[in-house]
């Protein structure tokens, strides 16, 4: 008898794919609350059918709802347990299916959000489904928390995330696996910024010299911001909106910037540089405000002990995993920084997330589902 009996459960790759493609077909971009809520409806129903008690947490800030699914356990709800923390929002607008249709090509399955992170969430659901079907009992209560705004830094759900993490002994985050199949035991710090330039309008054809272009000043600022990038702290601008009429000198321009660093002190210094930016043009105002910040999450003893258990399970299944610190934030930043034992990157393998070639590797679905099942049944 294996030390990890849950890894011998009869996972079926076709059953996993059937659920995964159904979920990926339900497009759920962050800024479309109605679309995200349709995805929450689908996931809540699937989890309710497995016997979970569903709590629907209303969205705020114009964003979608969250779903909390608690599975019955002899220890009751009050006992610290395991929280599987996942997000169901994606970066792909409704209509992406026309450009990125769900399809299988060899060992790949394509679709919007299929890797980041519906794939990892689905294998987690399949893990608990087979555990329950086999009549097995997890040692600790299991809760799924499905959130709606991770792709924009979790501005409306951080309080829910941290409150749920504080009630649990472990947080498992099925974000995509690292390219080599490794898992995540720490993540870099990330800060977001909102920038706005305000100039003076004029007719671009008749009185060009009278205007002060907000777009021109923002363009200069973008170059300056990205030129601040070093090995210790990076800066990038990913969103810009400005002007409305080509024959008008633009009055306003808005942009969003992101900074990332491996160490909190480097990010803090980067934040001060961003907040210290000033306009280089007469009569054009520059405003920089700080947005969502994800704290640095550094590997600690509890997290590495959790990784050690995951590695033993993976080895028993027949493969190895290694621990990595990763750029690109997740909600694990919050829980790991709180000191709650957190393991991230437990999802499936694949590539090209956030693009029109996003896909999962089909042969990773069952091994990663077995890893999740092993963790859910052995953590105590």
* Cα–Cα distance for residue pair 4/208, rounded to 1 Å: 73
Query: What is the average pLDDT value for the chain, to the nearest integer?
Result: 97
> What confidence score (pLDDT) does residue 9 get?
98
**How does 206-215 read in b/e, with b if 16+ C-beta sit within 10 Å?**
eeeeebbbbb
Query: pLDDT of 48-98, one tens digit each?
Result: 999 999 999 999 999 999 999 999 999 988 889 999 999 999 999 999 999
Q: Specify which residues 323 forms β-bridges with.
A: 183
% of the chain beyond a pLDDT of 70: 100
Q: Is the pLDDT of residue 2 over 80?
A: no
Query: pLDDT of 126-141, one tens digit each?
Result: 999 999 999 999 999 9
* Cα–Cα distance for residue pair 64/59, rounded to 1 Å: 5
* Cα–Cα distance for residue pair 99/179, rounded to 1 Å: 24
Q: What residue has token string 């249709």? A: 101
Which of the residue ranges 184-188, 215-219, 328-332, 365-369 would you say has the lowest mean pLDDT? 328-332
Q: Is the pLDDT of residue 1 over 80?
A: no
Of 102, 122, 101, residue with least CA distance to 16 = 122
Of 116, 27, 185, residue with least CA distance to 350 = 116
For the CA atoms of 25, 158, 352, 41, what is the dihedral angle to 10 degrees? -10
Q: Is the pLDDT of residue 149 over 80?
A: yes
> What confidence score (pLDDT) does residue 326 get?
87
* Cα–Cα distance for residue pair 259/267, rounded to 1 Å: 7
Query: pLDDT of 15-35, one tens digit each?
Result: 999 999 999 999 999 999 999
Phi, psi (rounded to 5 degrees) for 265: -65, -30
Q: Is the pLDDT of residue 43 over 60?
A: yes
Of 80, 12, 13, 88, residue with least CA distance to 47 = 88
Q: Is the pLDDT of residue 36 over 50?
A: yes
Mean pLDDT across 267-285: 95
Q: Is 106 helix (H, G, I), strand (E, B) or coil?
A: coil
Maximum Cα–Cα distance for the chain, whole Å?
Answer: 85
Query: How far does Cα 254 stand from its chain's mean position?
Result: 24
Residue 79 vs residue 312, higher pLDDT: 312
Say if pTM beats, i.e. exceeds, 0.85: yes
């Amino acid at each position: 008898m294996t030390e990890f009996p849950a890894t011998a459960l009869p996972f079926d790759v076709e059953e996993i794919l059937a659920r995964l493609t159904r979920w990926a077909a339900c497009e759920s971009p962050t800024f479309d609350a109605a679309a995200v809520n349709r995805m929450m409806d689908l996931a809540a129903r699937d989890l309710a059918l497995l016997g979970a008690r569903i709590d629907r947490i209303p969205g705020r800030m114009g964003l979608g709802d969250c779903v909390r699914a608690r599975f019955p356990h002899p220890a009751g709800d009050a006992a610290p347990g395991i929280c599987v923390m996942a997000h169901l929002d994606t970066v792909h607008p409704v209509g992406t299916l026309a450009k990125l249709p769900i399809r299988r090509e060899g060992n790949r399955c394509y679709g919007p959000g299929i890797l980041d992170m519906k794939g990892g969430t689905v294998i987690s659901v399949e893990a608990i489904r087979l555990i329950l079907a086999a009549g097995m009992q997890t040692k600790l209560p299991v809760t799924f928390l499905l959130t709606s705004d991770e792709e924009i830094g979790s501005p409306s759900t951080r309080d829910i995330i941290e409150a749920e993490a504080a009630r649990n002994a472990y947080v498992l985050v099925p974000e995509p696996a690292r390219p080599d199949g490794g898992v995540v035991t720490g993540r870099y710090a990330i800060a977001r910024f909102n920038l706005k330039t305000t100039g003076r309008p004029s007719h671009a054809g008749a009185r060009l010299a009278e205007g002060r272009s907000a777009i021109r000043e923002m363009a200069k600022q973008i170059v300056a911001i990205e030129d601040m990038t070093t090995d210790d702290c990076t800066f990038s601008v990913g969103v810009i909106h400005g002007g409305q009429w080509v024959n008008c000198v633009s009055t306003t321009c808005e942009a969003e910037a992101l900074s990332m660093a491996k160490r909190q002190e480097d990010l803090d210094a980067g934040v001060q540089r961003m907040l210290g930016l000033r306009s280089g043009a007469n009569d054009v105002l520059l405003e920089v405000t700080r947005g969502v910040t994800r704290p640095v999450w550094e590997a600690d003893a509890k997290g590495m002990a959790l990784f050690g258990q995951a590695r033993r399970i993976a080895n028993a299944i027949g493969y190895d995993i290694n621990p990595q610190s990763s750029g690109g934030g997740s909600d694990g930043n919050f829980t790991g920084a709180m000191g709650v034992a957190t393991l991230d990157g437990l999802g499936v393998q694949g590539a090209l997330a956030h693009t029109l070639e996003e896909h999962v590797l089909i042969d990773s679905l069952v091994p990663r589902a077995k890893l999740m099942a092993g963790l859910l049944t052995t953590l105590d």
